[in-house]
Every structure is written in C-alpha cells, then in structure tokens.
Structure 1
Amino acid sequence: MPAVKRVTHEPAYVLHHHDWSESSLIVEAFTRGHGRMALVAKGAKRPSSNFRPVLLPLQPLLLSWGGEGEIRTLKGAEWGGGLVMPTGDALLSGYYANELLMKLLAREDAHPRLFDAYAALVHVLASPDAEALGAAALRAFELLLLRHTGHLPALDVQTLTLAPLQDDAPYRLVVEGGLRAAHGDDEVWLAGAAWLALSAALDEQAAFTAALQAVAGWPAGEQARLRQQLRALLHYHCGGNTLRTRQLMLELQRLKSPVAFS
C-alpha cells in the first residue's frame, strides 16, 4: 500500500498508547479507511497539550496525520461525540476488544466493516443495555473479527468434509480443525441450527446487529459454550498466551467469588 502523506478527519479509535519520549506518545489507532495506524503524538504528555484530554480509548475520534514511514505524525485529534466512557465490566470488555485488535490486525490493512462492528460494540458497552447485551455483543464482535482476519471457517458446513449441518446434530468448533461433528466425550458444542443461524447472521448487511440478536436470544448455557469455543480459537491465533485483559478479568472474578476458584 503506498504511503499516505496527509489524512484529515479520519474516523478512529485509540487502541493503545505508550511513551515515545518524555513528552510524546505513540498511539495505536484503529481507523476506518486505513486500518491500524501507529501515530506519534508530539507533546501529548504535557499538561497544556490539546491531545491530552482527547486521546482516550473507547471514544469516537476524528484524527489527522501526515508523514511517511511506519510511524506517522499526528496533526490533529477531535472527539467524535455521542458516547460516554463504559464502566465496570463493560470497560474491561472494551479493553479486551482493543487487545484482540492489536494482536490480530496488521498495520495499514483497512477493514471498514470490522471498524463499523467495533463502533457498534463500543456503543452497546457505553449504553444502559451493557449489562444485558454486553456479552452477546462481544460474541458478535469476536465472530466478525475472526471472519475478517481469515480465521473463522464457514459455519454452515463441516470444514473437512463440506457436509451440510443437520439442525439437531451437535458440532464443535476446534482449533486447526474447523467445524466438525462433536464426539461423544465433547462437552462443548452447539447444535447445527445454532451454527446455521450464526452463519446467516454474519452474511447480513448489518452483520453485527444480526449476530448480536441471534446470540442474545440463546439460553445462558448455549452462550457460554459459544464463548468457550471462540475464546479457544482466539487464544490460538493470538499466539497462545493469555491476554492481559483476560487475565485481569479472571483475577477480578476471583476477588468477587473466591470460593468458586478455590
């Protein structure tokens, strides 16, 4: 992809930032038209910087940058408005989604539909419906992230044989093996009808909303089995190490319910 010398008012979200110098930051941003970008925000750590109150995660932004090379120079950042910062478990879910994007997206590889799905996820997490719909929204986003990065097999056939799924038969999504018929000792699986519903939802124009609605209508046990299968696949493609945000979630759960983890 040829270098872009100047971009203005590009829809974006901050995924992560780290120190560049005593006064500057490197900002990892997810942008709609240019994918994941590394931008140096000069002077952003100074109390008087215009960047300081704007470069926050889980907030819609409009970014402008220039230059060439792997790291571009941030020229402007404006708040896109419309959202408050998620809190509690919703905030951790947002940081978890950010870490997944950092792990799985190559730089300067645009995924506008995935960007829209991420924006929709953030909207749910920042809304009063976060407690009720947050988990289903996260599953919808995980599915779309896996699909857009090429890690999700077709969900309407068995991967190795291409045999169609049967509504009432059990199937499991396995790392490196794709979707296959569940064995007798498999405890984590979903019925063919559930996988077919997800496949149809992901093909919709508004795929995030369709997948969210599909998962939100399932019983808690079924949602949990989907989460386990997606997490195993994501864990594998993220390099096999426990995500930092995932570890933090587990530690917080232990603090809330110490007996359950003893």
Structure 2
Amino acid sequence: MATKRIADEPAYVLHRYDWSESSLILEVFTRHYGRIALVAKGAKKPSSSFRPILLPLQPLHVAFGGDAEIRTLRSAEWQGGHVMPTGDALLSGYYLNELLMTLLARDDPHAELFDIYARVVEIIASEHGEVLQGALRTFELLLLRETGFLPPLNVQTMTLRALDVNDHYVLVPEGGLRQAHAEDRVSLSGAQWLRLHETLQNHAPFTTTLRACAEMMGELKPQLRALLHYHCGVKTLRTRQMMIDIQAL
C-alpha cells in the first residue's frame, strides 16, 4: 500500500514532547485533518531547519506522510505574520492549545474552528488587550459548539421551554441552561442568551459573537469556565492555574 503524503497543509504546533536525543513528537492542529501527531526527526539537532520553526502560535505549512498513528514530518515552512507573543498573551495562547489538546479527538477535521483559532492567535500576537478577553470567550463558545458540548442557548435544556427575555438563566455543566436561582452568583437574561444563540448561527460567527461577548463578559466567563472544566475532566486547567500563580507573586 502506498504511503499517503500530504503537502502544503496549514497548521499550528499545539505541543511538543522529546522523543529521542535528537527528535520530537508534535501535537499539531491542521486545517483539513484536525489534530494529528507527527514525529520531527532530528528536530533538536543544532543544524536542523526545524529548530526555529516548530514553535507554538506560529502559522506553518507542513508536509507529512505515513499511515501510522504518528506520522512523519517531511517539511515545515513559517508563514510569517507575527512574532511570538510574550507574557499574559503567551499564556492565553497556551490556554487555547490546552483546550484543543483536551477536547479535540485526533484525526477529526474542524476547518472552521481552525480559521477561528488563527484569528484569535493574531489578536493575541497583536497585543490588542481590549479585545483579547472577548476573543477568548468567543473561541470557548465556538469550540464547545464544534465539539457538541454547548447546549442550544434559545431554550431551557431540561424542559425545552422557550426563554423569557426578562427572566434570568444560568448555564450549568450538569444540566445545561436553566432558570436562575437566588443562590446563583452569575446569570444572563433571556434576551442575552438569545442574542448569543443568534450570533452563533451567523454565517460569520466570530465577529458577531465577539461583539456580543464584549457586553456580557463578567457574567459569561465563569459559566463557560465551569462548563469547560467539566468536559475537560479537571478542576482547573494547567494554564489557568499558571496564570493564577503568576498573578499571586
């Protein structure tokens, strides 16, 4: 059987592991093939052309081949556009990568999500702090939708009753969207949930959802965080704990 070869594939490195004294195993997010594993032979050698290229949050075009679970990286070319983010922006990028590593199955393509990830990475690298939090919330919503973990935001999940625009509702990990109780610390009005639902149905959901998220950031963030932690199977994601620890210094 002929070995399948793929060339000129848009990609980002999500994570990298040592494989031997000279090689790396890469977790890579590609546009047409989803999350895949690649071995970069000799990538740790000082003379390797891979060394300055195989970095996270950098737009690449890669070529790879093989039929095994871990394929072989043949080439990688940096597509330019921005330098490596630093500080809080870099941690935000690592946070996105951790979400993709945890929630995406291998070899499951998500071309639209790839394009949205690329846009958020551009925002992270451009240091537009005023829109970064909205971009992160937008990515979380679209990732949850793509993976099937986001319930419809236009009805109450358990009863399928329509939302009252004047009432308040909360998104809970175990039960989806339900009517808010007195003890709930954060919630959104029915009108706000309906607006988010409408923006997610848009043919260009990133821009419209970003605008909507910017107006309800404080109430939306903890609800999305709880839902993500639930489906990731952790109490706190590693990158988020790192942010907390740094802020406490």
SS at match of 1:30: strand
Worse-matched range after superposition: 179-188 or 36-45:
179-188
Unaligned runs of 5+ in 2: none
Alignment of 1:16-35 (within 5 A): 16-35=15-34
Aligned to 1:73: 72
SS at match of 1:83: coil
SS at match of 1:134: helix
Aligned to 2:238: 244
Unaligned runs of 5+ in 1: 256-262
TM-score (norm 2): 0.97
Aligned to 1:92: 91
**Counterpart AA for 1:208:** F
Aligned to 1:172: 170
1:128 CA displacement: 3.9
**Counterpart AA for 1:58:** L
Alignment of 1:1-262 (within 5 A): 5-129=4-128, 131-216=129-214, 218=215, 222-255=216-249
SS at match of 2:74: strand
Percent identical pairs in the alignment equals 63
SS at match of 2:6: strand
Contact 2:158–2:176 under 8 Å retained in 1: yes
Give, in whole Å, the separation in 2 of the partners of 1:240 and 1:92: 18
**Counterpart AA for 2:74:** K
1:4 CA displacement: 7.2
SS at match of 2:73: strand
1:29 CA displacement: 0.3
**Counterpart AA for 1:114:** L
**Counterpart AA for 1:69:** A
1:147 CA displacement: 0.5
Worse-matched range after superposition: 201-210 or 24-33:
201-210
Relative to structure 1, the CA distance from residue 122 to residue 193 in structure 2 (aligned partners, 3 Å threshold; closer, same or farther) is same
Task: State the Cα RMSD in Å.
Answer: 1.2
Give, in whole Å, the separation in 2 of the partners of 1:176 and 1:83: 40
Deviations 1:8-40 (A, max 9, x none): 010010000000100000000000000001000
Give, in whole Å, the separation in 2 of the partners of 1:7 and 1:151: 31
**Counterpart AA for 2:187:** W
Give, in whole Å, the separation in 1 of the partners of 2:12 and 2:37: 12
Deviations 1:32-60 (A, max 9, x none): 00000100000000111011100011011
Give, in whole Å, the separation in 1 of the partners of 2:23 and 2:165: 55
Give, in whole Å, the separation in 1 of the partners of 2:42 and 2:177: 49
Deviations 1:176-217 (A, max 9, x none): 20001001221111111111111111111211121111112x
**Counterpart AA for 1:234:** L
SS at match of 1:153: coil
TM-score (norm 1): 0.92
Contact 2:89–2:127 under 8 Å retained in 1: no
Relative to structure 1, the CA distance from residue 116 to residue 186 in structure 2 (aligned partners, 3 Å threshold; closer, same or farther) is same
